[in-house]
Structure 1
Amino acid sequence: MYTQNLPIILASKSPRRQELLSLMDLDFKVVLKEVEESYPEGLNPAEIAVYIAEKKAGAFMADYKDSLVITADTIVAHDNEILGKPEDAQHALEMLTKLSGGRHEVYTGVSLTFADQVSSFYDVTEVYFRALSKKQIQYYIDHYNPYDKAGAYGVQDWIGMVAVEKIIGSYTNVMGLPTEKLYLALSTL
């Protein structure tokens, strides 16, 4: 159980991250700031996820020195290609077609910031999708919101219920926050 008396700020508009922190029985407040999510070339997927999480953390360091700030970034990697959030329905269709019938990895970088110190970590989960028809992919795009999700899908949505054959690693990491590793990091603060 997290026993520190520090106020917790979740710097994320992700309803999934908010839900996961609530399920961990953590008392937190959501504070948002726009942060450009670019990264230097040459980084591997784990480095990209941590780089962006730390970039987000940097936006909060000056204003929230008396709080513990949690930032995170999730990316999907398929055959060495980074799949971010889709720009439109066609882009979502292209991404989900790539993921159909194969394996990909989901990386989440997490940064914990207090005062001037940043502690970061990442988790990776392998996800195996069964083959989906174009009609099934289109159904998902039409009935769910793939636009705010890395790789154009949410594992907790319909597509996760019907397409994910197996995962190796943390399920909550695929949702956008590796709660097991986060809990351990909070316990050792």
Structure 2
Amino acid sequence: MFILKSASPRRIQILTDLGFQFQVDPTNIDETQNPEEDPFDYLERMVHSKLGEPADKNSLYLAADTIVVFQNEILHKPLDLEDSIRILKTLSGNKHSVFSGAALRTNSITDFFYEETVIEFRHWTEEEIRDYILRCKPFDKAGSYGIQDQGGPVAFREGSYTNVMGFPLRSFLSRSSVWLPFWKRP
């Protein structure tokens, strides 16, 4: 059995589009960043925490997390409208990195992997930012935006589109020997 330890609609859609049949069983964890914690260390800790301890050693477990990093600071999901405005103003006209990390676990083997995508935002006025937030409601997204949103802030991308959506697909596909036995096309 293939078990996704995430309730992210974007991750679910990506795996469904690939033809996977899986069970969704998210782990509820504390996502608080530790003081002075490096963004990459935080990402790896979150993925392993979401993975948890497998209940069935014959199943394949997949956990993932995505962070937006600007000047070595993680820009988490916004707390509210004002926080979303603050985040998008910070990123306006600037480049930042999106890291999606994931881990596969089967039996006693855990394989952690990640990808980085560099994003450049266009310059936005506060009015454009407010309009975007009211239209797209990016409150469940790291960095307060979605690359897939119409009229969004992304001017340029270097790297994987699906990575910014929340899943390091290229790295996942390169590990086919791990997940292939669990792949069942509908």
What TM-score comes out, normalization by structure 1 length?
A: 0.88
Alpha-carbon distance change, 145 to 186 in structure 1, aligned in 2, over 3 angstroms? farther
CA distance in 2, matches of 1:187, 1:46: 26
CA distance in 2, matches of 1:183, 1:52: 21
CA RMSD of aligned residues (A): 1.6
1:19 to 10, 13, 18: 13
| Alignment deviations for residues 35-55 of structure 1 (CA, whole Å, 9 cap, x no partner) | 112344444323321221011
2:93 is the alignment partner of 1:101: yes
- The question of whether the paired residues in 2 share the 8 Å contact of 1:39 and 1:52 is answered with no
What TM-score comes out, normalization by structure 2 length?
A: 0.89
CA distance in 1, matches of 2:176, 2:31: 25
Flag structure 1 segments of 5+ consecutive residues without an equivalent. 1-6
- Matched-pair identity in %: 37
- Cα deviation, residue 112, structure 1: 0.6
CA distance in 2, matches of 1:124, 1:110: 12
Partner of 1:4: none
Residues 52-91 of structure 1 mapped to structure 2, 5 A cutoff: 52-58=46-52, 61-91=53-83
Partner of 2:158: 168
- Cα deviation, residue 63, structure 1: 1.6
CA distance in 2, matches of 1:83, 1:51: 16
Partner of 2:183: none
Partner of 1:28: 22
Flag structure 2 segments of 5+ consecutive residues without an equivalent. 180-186
Residues 134-149 of structure 1 mapped to structure 2, 5 A cutoff: 134-149=126-141
- What code does the residue aligned with 2:47 have? A
- Cα deviation, residue 65, structure 1: 2.2
- The question of whether the paired residues in 2 share the 8 Å contact of 1:53 and 1:72 is answered with yes
1:181 to 164, 171, 178: 171
How many residues in Structure 1 have an aligned counterpart in Structure 2? 179
Consecutive aligned runs of 4 or more in structure 1 exceeding 6 Å deviation: none
Q: Please, which moves more after superposition, 116-125 or 170-179?
A: 116-125
- What code does the residue aligned with 2:112 have? S
2:113 to 106, 121, 126: 121
